[in-house]
């Protein structure tokens, strides 16, 4: 485990910058940056941009100097590298194209939703999460999982499920469902499709759809896909969730988060579709148990 820094070679704002990364965990990187007094605005998804004047000090604090190519190689190997397609300059175009395919009759609605998902206070519940849910829905559907009687509804619900996000569990889902009703009705969608979208949005408050609800199972599994990622990616997700709730004191957050993790682990299955269980169930349970231990939540669930 090491903090790495490449030479100050990258020009911007009248100086040159280095990249500061961890080859193990974002938590380690953030702890190092905090102790070094680096501003939060210097963080860019998988690294900190640091000006040349800080280079020697950061090396003295323990950052290991490496060539730029070595830094990238070790960041990729760690699993912490954020692919280019997930960066803001790429996401807007990808999401706009996805909305145009889903609801070609109302491009303005898609633009407004992308703006919502781009709000500065979002860290996990952002455009990257939206795209991940849409792609997980696509994967499950391609695998043969049923989508319900109104086939656009799970994808519409993905677009709206965190469209209102203030960090208030339950209330955010209610407000997002209300937004879906108002927005989709104004865009001219049929009432049945509007109502089904709102119903599915509300299901994401607890992710406990009825086993006989194929659309609900599909959306819930897609929203929880992140739990079954590789440990490094899961750690990035957990760190981003903590940043989303930065207004909550550490002890209160740990208690609430542990309760959520314990509730998930107590279920017979985290995922309702056979495809999702096969792809993500075992790794998701391992990730949840590991995070629960880090939070001081007792021994891992069996």
Structure tokens at 164: 């209102």
User: Within a domain: residue 299?
Assistant: no
Closest by CA to 181, choosing from 165, 205, 199, is 199
Domain boundary among 174, 193, 223: 223
Q: How far apart are CA 24 and CA 204, in angstroms?
A: 31
Domain boundary among 81, 113, 132: 81
User: Within a domain: residue 301?
Assistant: no
Please indicate, yes or no, whether residues 90 and 219 belong to a single structural domain of this protein: yes
Per-residue confidence (pLDDT) for residue 91, from 0 to 100? 85
Structure tokens at 86: 């997930």
Please indicate, yes or no, whether residues 31 and 90 belong to a single structural domain of this protein: no
In sequence order, what are the beta bridge partners of 50? Answer: 18
Return the CATH number at 215: 1.10.3210
Q: How far apart are CA 28 and CA 32, in angstroms?
A: 6
Domain boundary among 203, 223, 243: 223
Q: How far apart are CA 238 and CA 2, in angstroms?
A: 20
DSSP state of 63: P
Please indicate, yes or no, whether residues 115 and 208 belong to a single structural domain of this protein: yes
User: HSE of 124 in the Cβ direction (CA atoms, 13 Å)?
Assistant: 20
Please indicate, yes or no, whether residues 14 and 142 belong to a single structural domain of this protein: no
Domain count, the chain: 3
Can you state the percent helix, strand and coil of the chain, rounding each to 5? 60, 5, 35
Query: pLDDT 10s per residue in the chain (302 long)?
Result: 699 999 998 888 888 999 999 998 888 899 999 999 999 889 888 899 999 999 999 999 999 999 988 998 898 888 888 776 666 667 888 999 999 999 999 999 999 999 999 998 888 899 989 999 999 999 999 999 999 999 999 999 999 999 999 877 789 999 999 999 999 999 999 999 999 999 999 999 999 999 999 999 999 999 999 999 988 889 888 988 888 888 889 899 999 999 999 999 999 999 999 999 999 999 999 999 999 998 886 554 44
Per-residue confidence (pLDDT) for residue 88, from 0 to 100? 63
Per-residue confidence (pLDDT) for residue 297, from 0 to 100? 61
Closest by CA to 117, choosing from 141, 138, 96, 140, is 96
Per-residue confidence (pLDDT) for residue 84, from 0 to 100? 62
Please indicate, yes or no, whether residues 97 and 219 belong to a single structural domain of this protein: yes
Phi-psi sector, 77: left (phi>0), alpha (psi -120 to 50), beta: alpha
Please indicate, yes or no, whether residues 192 and 259 belong to a single structural domain of this protein: no
Please indicate, yes or no, whether residues 97 and 218 belong to a single structural domain of this protein: yes
Is residue 38 within 8 A of residue 55, CB to CB? The reply is no
Q: What is the 3-state secondary structure (H, E, C) of 77-103?
A: HHCCCCCHHHCHHHHHHHHHHHHHHHC
Please indicate, yes or no, whether residues 93 and 216 belong to a single structural domain of this protein: yes
User: Within a domain: residue 151?
Assistant: yes
Q: How far apart are CA 258 and CA 289, in angstroms?
A: 10
User: Within a domain: residue 300?
Assistant: no
Please indicate, yes or no, whether residues 77 and 90 belong to a single structural domain of this protein: no
Please indicate, yes or no, whether residues 281 and 240 belong to a single structural domain of this protein: yes
Burial 58-71 (b: 16+ CB within 10 A, else e): beeeebeebeeeeb
Please indicate, yes or no, whether residues 212 and 256 belong to a single structural domain of this protein: no
Please indicate, yes or no, whether residues 205 and 237 belong to a single structural domain of this protein: no
Provide the 3-class DSSP secondary structure of residue 51.
Answer: strand
User: Quick check: pTM over 0.85?
Assistant: no
- Whose tokens are 């485990």? That residue is 1
User: Within a domain: residue 96?
Assistant: yes
Per-residue confidence (pLDDT) for residue 80, from 0 to 100? 84
Domain that residue 50 falls in: 3-81
């Amino acid at each position: 485990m090491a903090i790495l820094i490449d030479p100050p070679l990258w020009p911007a704002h009248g100086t040159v910058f280095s990249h500061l990364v961890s080859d193990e965990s974002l938590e380690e990187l953030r702890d190092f940056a905090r102790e070094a007094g680096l501003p939060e605005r210097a963080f860019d998804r998988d690294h900190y941009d640091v000006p040349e004047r800080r280079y020697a000090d950061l090396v003295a604090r323990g950052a290991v100097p490496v060539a730029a190519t070595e830094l990238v190689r070790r960041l990729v190997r760690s699993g912490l590298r954020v692919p280019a397609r997930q960066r803001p300059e790429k996401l807007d175009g990808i999401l706009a194209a996805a909305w145009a395919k889903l609801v070609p009759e109302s491009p303005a609605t898609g633009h407004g939703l992308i703006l919502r998902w781009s709000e500065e206070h979002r860290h996990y519940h952002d455009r990257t999460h939206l795209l991940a849910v849409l792609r997980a829905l696509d994967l499950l559907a391609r695998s043969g999982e049923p989508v319900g009687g109104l086939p656009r509804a799970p994808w519409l619900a993905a677009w709206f499920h965190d469209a209102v996000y203030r960090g208030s569990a339950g209330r955010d889902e209610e407000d997002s469902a209300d937004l879906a009703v108002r927005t989709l009705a104004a865009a001219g969608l049929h009432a049945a499709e509007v109502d089904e979208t709102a119903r599915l949005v509300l299901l994401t408050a607890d992710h406990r759809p009825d086993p006989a609800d194929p659309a609900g199972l599909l959306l819930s599994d897609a929203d929880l896909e992140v739990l079954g990622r590789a440990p490094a990616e899961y750690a990035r997700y957990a760190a981003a969730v903590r940043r989303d709730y930065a207004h909550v004191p550490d002890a209160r957050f740990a208690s609430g988060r542990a309760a959520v993790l314990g509730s998930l682990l107590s279920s017979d299955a985290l995922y309702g579709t056979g495809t999702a269980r096969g792809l993500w169930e075992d790794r998701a349970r391992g990730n949840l148990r590991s995070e629960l231990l880090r939070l001081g939540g007792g021994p891992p669930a069996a």
